[in-house]
Amino acid sequence: MMNHRKRLAIGLLCIAALPLLSQDTNSSAKPPASAQSAKNSKPQSPQGGDGERKFQQNCSRCHQAPEGFPSHISGTIVRHMRVRASLSQQDERDILRFLNP
């Protein structure tokens, strides 16, 4: 058991040190690719503010945003994400507004 704990601790330490090597100032927050390139779905500040943040917090953490999609499926995408990512109704609305300002 001690061996298991030791190996686990070493593994965690190594992984925890990795971000120190990976500071990336060029990848600062910008509108996700999906919204940037979605047909008829470009975000506009300030309407997109909350939605953009929530998009990045809830959608971009797991996967790359799609390069583009027709605006008439944006509601379906966000409803699917509401269930899959356990979003609240307000989160769903904000993200949808971000995708369709």
Helix (H, G, I), strand (E, B) or coil at 51: helix
Does residue number 100 form part of the binding site for another protein (CB under 8 A)? yes
Six token digits for residue 50: 């909350």
Q: How far is the CB of 48 from another protein (least distance, A)?
A: 15
Does residue number 17 form part of the binding site for another protein (CB under 8 A)? no
Tell me if 69 sits within 8 A of 34, measured CB to CB.
yes
Q: How far is the CB of 41 from another protein (least distance, A)?
A: 9
Q: How far is the CB of 92 from another protein (least distance, A)?
A: 9
CB environment 64-95: b (16+ within 10 A), e (fewer):
ebeeebeeeebeebbeebbeebebeeebbbbb
Binding region for another protein (CB under 8 A): 4, 7-8, 11-12, 15-16, 18-19, 22-29, 33, 53, 57, 61-64, 66-67, 69-77, 79-80, 82-91, 96, 100
